[in-house]
Structure 1
């Protein structure tokens, strides 16, 4: 039998002297650990939620990877490539690739009454993945892309408010080609409204039939701006990016235009750099909370040792070594820390679930890109938080536990 563990359990579950000072100090230390764990759980869950929610919105507009003409610059006026490419079958079966779709873009100006707004017309085809826009749809139905060319477009709620447009209204769009002096005019009908909260993109993109852009640019029905590639996991972006580039280069034909593969982090570095800065904030919060919890437990352990001075003296007189007595108090510390972590987990997870399901805390989307505080709590992160907090706190307990060695048994046995 583990004698040290047995004694620690008895001390932990002791019912006597609940009104003394040490009991109150220990309770405060346990409460401090619980509060620290709640803050750590919320910090990790909210930051991961922010990162995943905003990244998902950016990817919904621009995809994880794009294959375009190498001569196309960063503007939305692109140089066409052929829709039939030799690498497509191999790319479709590439590990980590979820979906491939063709697209085309063309900048233009919307005019509705006396109001105008510069936008980017994004042409989509029958292979378009609607899951992202279905999630943020406010009204309307999907654009019918299987039949003949349609005049229906999807605009954001922000554009509809700026231009005073509603579902079913008509609007005029003006487009300029570099070799033409007069703009080309197209009339569209609002067939759908969406709101993602990513206002920079909401006020920019308008979804339309890709065949309109082909006609506006005098392209053939096989020419497009490029391909959009969606992957299963954003963490695999760099690896999949390298594989896609290698695949495109291997299948490049001698007389075909050179193609370029770009990823979403290269196109919008300011957004992903901001998201990466949040990681540093989380590490600072975790460090401070673990430090506070450790010092709380150090004060609690010192009080417990001082309160149990007579017991320590009796154990030493019976032949117990300092190392064995230290184990007793380290086991007791582990029980107290575990109790604090347990309550911290219960409260932290409960708060995360409440925010996730009831959207209690709201944010300004103009500043934070989301309407409510996003929460994404993973079991693996929860386990690592608990193990890390327990390990660091117990390591901080080693120093105070050596106070046991300075206690003299002949003096403490007579202590009342």
Structure 2
């Protein structure tokens, strides 16, 4: 089978011989270092992808992808607005709501955001019903005066299901004793836990009709929408603005949480750059190995030059060996990194079981399991960067080999 001369000789040089065992050892060390670096980079990127996905699911499971609100305090003709929103492409569900900033009093006081909802429609736009620890969301009926609290908020108030909570809203009523705030007693009918401090410690749910009476509204303050692809939030918002007209205001999740997710993306990019430097350090072993090989093969290079090999051909011979070491290291690194990323949650659980130590305690962290999400696009970038480093590492040693003068190299042979 025909093979280019550069490839044939380069592959021959990769085979260990008795007199260059040390060079072969350095080559093996280079492969191991590159493989470990690639494995570490793929694993770290997968963990960061896992945390990013987990945070997105938890945050966007409580907030809407798109919110439609009125220019005034309430949304006029909200039933028509809901039907219009549901007929828009990419919209999976719509539900009205009333939001009230309130003060809650039980055994201990706490401020909270009270959201009035329609229990039958709320599952279309949020995942709170799937995170109920106690009780059911369907208990929030008209004039039931029941309330569902986040777990942390319930602990702060010191209440459980069945206890009473006094809700005070900033709506003042004139009395003979002067203006007094409006208050109402609610019965705790359920507790939810989303796993996010922002919502578990500050959010409470009541029926939308009770919220309207409590705050003196005649309709919802907004309509929450859930999309089949949250990346389509901006185009959907633009389309709704055209359909609904100027009487409505449309906002997306990117308007309220864009900075948070942008910070996560920036952190991921910084980690990629930092860990890429580890790969660069591992590639330095490759430079050392090739420089020793060039020194060891001075006589062979001189003979090849006298036989007519060009400097470019000599460069190709040594670049073949360096690139081959890089490819083998990348191959092992991708295999180990993929296996480790796909099985990392199970491995962490096994280590916790063996050592008896909990890495992410649920009492401290709101994500109590180490998430991992392997994206092949990230693997592709890791392979590309590592291969580029390996290729660059071969240039200088190969150039030195091509500059070898035959007469000088054979003088003492």
Q: Shorter chain as normaliser: what TM range? A: 0.7 to 0.9
Given the alignment of the two structures, is residue 8 of structure 1 paired with residue 2 of structure 2, yes or no?
no
Give 1:83 shift. Answer: 4.9
For the 8 Å contact 1:310–1:415, the answer to whether it is kept is: no
Note if 1:408 corresponds to 2:372. no
Does the C-alpha gap of structure 1 residues 264 and 309 become closer, same or farther in structure 2, counting only changes over 3 Å?
A: same
Pair 333,94 (structure 1): closer, same or farther in 2 beyond 3 Å: farther
**How many Å apart are 1:64 and its aligned residue?**
1.9
The 3 A distance-change label for structure 1 pair 88 and 174 is closer
Pick one of 286, 299, 309 that aligns with 2:298: 309
Q: Which residue of 1 aligns with 2:103?
A: 109
Separation of aligned partners in 2, 1:182 and 1:272: 38
Q: Is the 8 A contact 1:142 1:192 kept in 2?
A: no
Report if the CA contact (8 A) 2:345-2:369 is conserved. no
* Residues 16-415 of structure 1 aligned to structure 2 (within 5 Å): 16-17=17-18, 20-71=21-72, 79-84=73-78, 86=80, 88-112=82-106, 114-125=107-118, 126-129=120-123, 132-134=127-129, 136-144=131-139, 150-178=144-172, 181-196=180-195, 198-220=196-218, 223-249=219-245, 252=246, 258-268=247-257, 271-357=260-346, 360=349, 362-363=359-360, 370-412=367-409
Q: Is the 8 A contact 1:170 1:190 kept in 2?
A: no
- After TM superposition, give the deviation of residue 387 of structure 1 in Å: 2.2
* TM-fit CA distance, 1:336: 0.9
Q: CA deviation at 1:205?
A: 0.5
Q: 1:80 to 1:151 in 2, by over 3 A?
A: same
Tell me what 1:75 maps to: none
CA gap 1:168/1:354 in 2 versus in 1, 3 angstroms: farther
Structure 1, unpaired ranges of 5+: 72-78, 253-257
- State the distance in 2 between where 1:329 and 1:238 align: 53
**8 A Cα contact 1:138 1:195, kept in partner:** no
Q: What's the TM-score once normalised by structure 2's chain length?
A: 0.83
TM-score normalised according to structure 1 size: 0.82
Query: What RMSD in Å do the two structures reach over aligned CA positions?
Result: 3.1
1:235-268 Cα shifts (integer Å, max 9, x gaps)? 444333333333333xx5xxxxx22112223224
In 2, the alpha carbon distance for the partners of 1:134 and 1:49 equals 23
* 2:381 match: secondary structure: helix
Change in Cα spacing, 1:316 to 1:353, as seen in structure 2 (3 Å) is same
Q: CA deviation at 1:290?
A: 4.1
For the 8 Å contact 1:33–1:296, the answer to whether it is kept is: no
**Alignment deviations for residues 43-74 of structure 1 (CA, whole Å, 9 cap, x no partner):** 32233333332233222222122111235xxx
Instruction: Show the counterpart of 2:355.
Output: none
> Would the aligned equivalents of 1:143 and 1:153 in 2 still touch at CA under 8 Å?
no
| Structure 2 residue ranges without an equivalent (≥5) | 175-179, 350-357
What is the count of residue pairs matched by the alignment?
Answer: 396
Instruction: Give the Cα–Cα distance (whole angstroms) in 1 for the partners of residues 144 and 314 of structure 2.
Output: 82
